Homo-oligomer: A and B are copies of this chain.
């Protein structure tokens, strides 16, 4: 099984509802350094699983829909907490939609996606799914 990983980041503000979040119930923010991994069992004739440049652009495009925003005002997350887990799933699902729609071109052998959001030097969350 092959994997190709690209890294980018986003800068968001948000607050979290629920006693469990303690001080994070107040409006605050985070840098999420995001690793997106594309997985598959075979390489194409060029010897690649995905075009890594396009993979990087795809991740950048997905994060462009989130970065430099206050996620409390984002209708897509209405009624939900934008926890690191929720955001990891959101990014993975958007990447999966795009890959299925052909965003990575002829490299059609991607069978899974994993997304890791690093929120500090001490904590991260991830979501992985089949395509």
Q: Which residues of A contact B (CB under 8 A)?
A: 1-9, 11-14, 16-18, 20-24, 26-33, 43, 46-49, 51-53, 56, 67-70, 80-86, 88-89, 105, 119-129
Q: What's the nearest-Cβ distance from chain B to residue A89, in Å?
A: 7
Task: Return chain B residues, CB-CB under 8 Å to A83.
Answer: 43, 46-48
Q: What's the nearest-Cβ distance from chain B to residue A103, in Å?
A: 14
5 contacts between A and B (CB under 8 A): A4-B124, A6-B122, A7-B122, A43-B85, A49-B125
Task: Return chain B residues, CB-CB under 8 Å to A23.
Answer: 67-68
Q: Which 3 A-B pairs have the closest CB atoms?
A: A29-B29, A47-B81, A13-B13
Task: Return chain B residues, CB-CB under 8 Å to A20.
Answer: 46, 48, 51, 105
Task: Return chain B residues, CB-CB under 8 Å to A22.
Answer: 53
Further 17 A-B residue pairs, CB within 8 A, beyond A7-B121, A29-B29: A3-B125, A4-B125, A4-B126, A5-B124, A8-B122, A11-B120, A13-B13, A13-B28, A20-B105, A24-B68, A31-B119, A43-B83, A43-B85, A43-B86, A47-B80, A48-B81, A49-B85
* Stoichiometry (number of copies): 6
Given A83-B48, A85-B47, A122-B56, decide whether A70 and B26 contact each other with a Cβ distance below 8 A.
Answer: yes
